[in-house]
């Protein structure tokens, strides 16, 4: 079955051009018109989707040809087209960066492209840059260009006038401190940490709507791919998932995958709770344990609860920040001590990119991005491989605990995930 829906992919010449704010502003402006907006994020990102979820009021999903795969992306776009008035996709890095890139996704799924360009240091070059980015890949469908961080209405008019006739002007955002989104070493702050996020998104949406007529993007047809039914291999099982200000990197698709497998999911806070929920398995996802060392060290009741569950053979999965918290220490501060080894934060990132893991349970697609190192005498269960076939992250198994810097994408192999949690 083929369904149709207006759709748009927002990209830029490079990172730090303001794609997230622009995408959130567009989504909110259309939502203000009473439209149902479904947002997606290119790449295996956790933080930008939190901002887009605030803007749309709906769950946000990742689109990555390497990690998710073409069939998974097609299925999510097809479903979104049936339930939404508009689909908006935020790109990753620059338009042509990465392999596959945001441009590849736009062409593969016929998504019209809107460029957002930081115009703070240019005038007429804006038009030349826009034209060049579109013409570099002739298969792209130009939707228009948005100028970000402009200095004045006159500056915006210079930028608009510089565009060739075949490239539409979609508006501008002036450079204002109250519109900027704060960042730290892993990217933007979590949405819940930005106290005035609603006001920032609302102001950006209003400014964008005032600067141009926000017509609906072109209509795109989405075909339903052939997919295999997921068996309820976790029926009757309860998965306890850590979720708080430290453990917060969770793909929405992973939660839905567990539920489709038949699992009941419950959330708990390793920082604040003193006991585990009644469950059959535990998942410690990634996040920021390095920012909460005192709470992790002080919560001895949670230490005891986790150790008791591990000694009883409860299946556990610890990913990235979850593995750091499961280790013996983080920066010499005592952690939960489930996994022999120590984690130490470094000045620059130590791992980045999509990887593929071969486990006894099956092959899983994953992503890694971390600033710490983990040193352990424990022999890895296996070593993941990068897209170029090089050795990637180690995957450890210690009793019933499986741990790695990898963030696994559960829909890449639901039966393997069911085995990990069984």
Q: Which residues are annotated as catalytic?
A: 320
CA pair distance 103, 113, nearest whole angstrom: 8
State the alpha helices, DSSP H only, in 342-390: none
Cα–Cα separations (whole angstroms), residue 57 to 36, 37, 182, 289: 9, 9, 21, 27
Q: Which residues pair with 397 in a beta bridge?
A: 402
Angle between helical axes of 47-56 and 19-32 (0-180°, round to 10): 20
Phi/psi class of residue 240: alpha, beta or left (left: φ > 0; alpha: ψ in -120 to 50)?
A: beta
Place of tokens 């990887």: 355
CA pair distance 163, 146, nearest whole angstrom: 11
**Which residue, 88, 102, 212, is CA-closest to 150?**
212
CA pair distance 160, 145, nearest whole angstrom: 9
| Residue 358: Cβ within 10 Å count | 14
- Residues in the chain, overall count: 422
Q: In what helix (H) or strand (E) does residue 190 lie, and over which residues does it extend? A: none
**Which residue, 92, 105, 411, 369, is CA-closest to 253?**
411
**Which residue, 233, 222, 177, is CA-closest to 200?**
177
């Amino acid at each position: 079955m083929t369904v149709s829906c207006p759709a748009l992919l927002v990209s830029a010449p490079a990172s730090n051009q303001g794609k997230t704010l622009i995408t959130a502003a567009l989504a909110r402006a259309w939502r203000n018109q009473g439209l149902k907006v479904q947002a997606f994020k290119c790449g295996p990102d956790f933080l930008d989707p939190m901002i887009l979820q605030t803007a749309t009021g709906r769950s946000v999903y990742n689109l990555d040809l390497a990690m998710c795969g073409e069939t998974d992306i097609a299925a999510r776009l097809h479903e979104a087209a049936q339930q939404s008035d508009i689909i908006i996709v935020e790109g990753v890095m620059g338009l042509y960066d990465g392999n596959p890139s945001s441009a590849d996704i736009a062409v593969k799924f016929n998504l019209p492209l809107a460029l957002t360009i930081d115009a703070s240091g240019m005038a007429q070059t804006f038009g030349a840059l826009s034209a060049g980015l579109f013409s570099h890949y002739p298969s792209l469908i130009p939707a228009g260009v948005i100028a970000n961080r402009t200095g004045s209405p006159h500056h915006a008019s210079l930028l608009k006038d510089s565009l060739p006739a075949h490239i539409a002007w979609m508006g501008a955002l002036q450079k204002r401190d109250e519109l900027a989104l704060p960042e730290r070493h892993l990217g933007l702050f979590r949405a819940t940490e930005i106290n005035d996020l609603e006001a920032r998104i609302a102001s950006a949406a209003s400014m964008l709507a005032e600067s141009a007529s926000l017509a609906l993007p072109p209509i795109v047809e989405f075909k339903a791919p052939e997919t295999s039914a997921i068996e309820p291999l976790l029926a009757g099982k309860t998965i306890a998932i850590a979720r708080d200000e430290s453990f917060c990197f969770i793909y929405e698709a992973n939660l839905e995958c567990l539920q489709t497998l038949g699992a009941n999911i419950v959330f708990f806070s390793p920082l604040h709770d003193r006991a585990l929920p009644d469950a059959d398995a535990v998942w410690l996802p990634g996040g920021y344990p390095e920012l909460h060392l005192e709470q992790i060290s002080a919560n001895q009741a949670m230490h005891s609860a986790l150790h008791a569950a591990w000694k009883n053979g409860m299946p556990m999965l610890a990913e990235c920040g979850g593995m750091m918290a499961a280790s013996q220490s983080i920066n010499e501060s005592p952690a939960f001590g489930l996994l022999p080894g120590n984690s130490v934060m470094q000045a620059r990132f130590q791992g980045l990119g999509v990887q593929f893991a071969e486990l006894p349970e099956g092959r899983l697609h994953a992503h890694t991005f971390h600033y710490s190192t983990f040193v352990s005498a424990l022999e890895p269960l296996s070593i993941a491989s990068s897209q170029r076939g090089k050795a990637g992250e180690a995957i450890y198994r210690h009793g019933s605990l499986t741990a790695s810097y990898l963030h696994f994408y559960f829909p890449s192999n639901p039966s393997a995930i069911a085995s990990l949690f069984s």
